[in-house]
Structure 1
Amino acid sequence: YYNGILSWRDMIDMLWGIAGGLERIHGEGKIHGNLHGGNLLIEDEDTSTDARIGDIGLHGPCNNENKSSDQIYGVLPYVAPEVLRGENYSTASDMYSIGI
């Protein structure tokens, strides 16, 4: 950090931790389905790059029966295009959200 601004190295460290958390969720056979900045928990924004993913367990298992296609939820800019087209949430849609 320098004057409260994250360095590139710190940003990468933070993203690495978030990606690791998402990998763990997917490894347990679940998807998040609502990943966005508001669901990221940072220990201390001024001194730490330790981030955690919040609202885990609100969606469900990684399969094609996780939600009906008429139920779209989440923060719109973070919702994957395939979900907006009516496809189910998936690990791929989580990856889209983390990329945004």
Structure 2
Amino acid sequence: MTDEVMYVSKKGKQPTAQRFGGEFGPYRKEGTTGVSLGTFKTLVWTSNIGGLVLCVIALELLFVQQEFMWGLISLIAGVLIALFPSNYEIVGMDDDVPPED
């Protein structure tokens, strides 16, 4: 019975189904666009600064204000925000495309 439930829950799902956005994940489906190098650099700078600010706020909350829960939440959010752009695929970085002459 449990095996049937497991198979039913996977019914109709493709192994290459798109997640949240076409640019995300290690494999990109056909017809999706990545982001340009300039956009990627902007995302990296913005998220790194935002993540750093949240980590500084987390340290303030943890050690000065003694607010452990809010400090931990801010620290986790800062790390997640700083890691966010690593999920994007940059346009033109494909290995299987032959170089142009």
TM range (shorter): under 0.3
TM-score, normalised with respect to structure 2: 0.25
Q: Could you say which structure has the higher helix fraction?
A: 2
Of structures 1 and 2, the larger Rg is shown by 2
Q: Which structure dedicates a bigger proportion of its chain to strand?
A: 1
Q: Under a length normalisation based on structure 1, what TM-score does the superposition of the two structures give?
A: 0.26
